[in-house]
Amino acid sequence: MESSKSTDQLVLFEASPARSDEDPVLEGNISVPGTVGQPNGLGGLEFNTLDEPISETIRRDLHAVGSKFFHVLYPVEKKSLLKEWDLWGPLILCTFMATVLQGHDTGDGTGDGGPQFAEVFVIVWVGSLIVTLNTKLLGGNISFFQSVCVLGYCLLPLAAALLVCRILLFFSDGTLVLVLRSVFVLVGFCWSTFASRQFLGDCSPPEKKMMSVYPMVLFYLVIAWMVISHSN
């Protein structure tokens, strides 16, 4: 019985006759062939970036962020933002919008009424949390970070509308500029809502899709109102 058990055991080492009185030496290779030394990630089971140059890592991340921005501007492939989520895009857009929208002190010390830097961050991230929680409660099959990724990347049209509004305000703040700003913000709001609906629409049960869309519309509506109301 004991002999049969010993034959089934995995042999981790074999002591050579010359080293029978010494400690056993474990030798082997724990790396997987085809995964080391390939910064493009091809030909292996797992992509290892420990030995990759920093410039290559930055280039790959920038390419990934740019690809997700393109999918937001041209929302045809629905799973592009859900396969490999990241928070670089939402962080960049949120920082940009918070920097542009933040209020400044006026000469009398009352301020111009704009939101503070941290308030924009809180509105964006808490709003994303509420939308995600609503989707999960409705039975949606999506993770929290996937939802934040999609909602954050889909802020790109509104961020572009904010940039255009700031450029228009450099020239004038009359009625014509107000109408143009309203048009750009409306287009950005519809684009952001449509893009997020494309990516997150299939994550909720079919009979509850409208209930999951309403918080998205409200979320982007608040951001759009912040953009159009900021005139300083």
Over residues 104-127, the pLDDT tens digits come to 555 555 555 566 778 888 888 888
| pLDDT of 82 over the 80 cut | no
Distance separating alpha carbons of residues 175 and 65, to the nearest angstrom: 37
Within 13 Å and on the Cβ side, how many CA atoms surround 26? 4
pLDDT for residue 35: 40
Over residues 53-77, the pLDDT tens digits come to 888 888 888 888 888 888 888 887 6
Q: Which residues of 77-100 are buried (b: 16+ CB within 10 A; e: fewer)?
A: eeebbbeebbeebbebbbeebbeb
The pair of three-digit structure tokens given for residue 183, joined into one six-digit string? 């048009």
Average pLDDT for the chain: 75
Over residues 180-190, the pLDDT tens digits come to 999 999 999 99
pLDDT for residue 171: 82
| pLDDT of 220 over the 90 cut | yes
The dihedral built from the CA positions of residue 59, 65, 70 and 75, taken in this order, carries a sign that is positive
pLDDT for residue 13: 46
Over residues 117-176, the pLDDT tens digits come to 788 888 888 888 888 888 888 877 777 888 888 888 999 999 999 999 989 888 877 888
Q: DSSP label at 59?
A: H
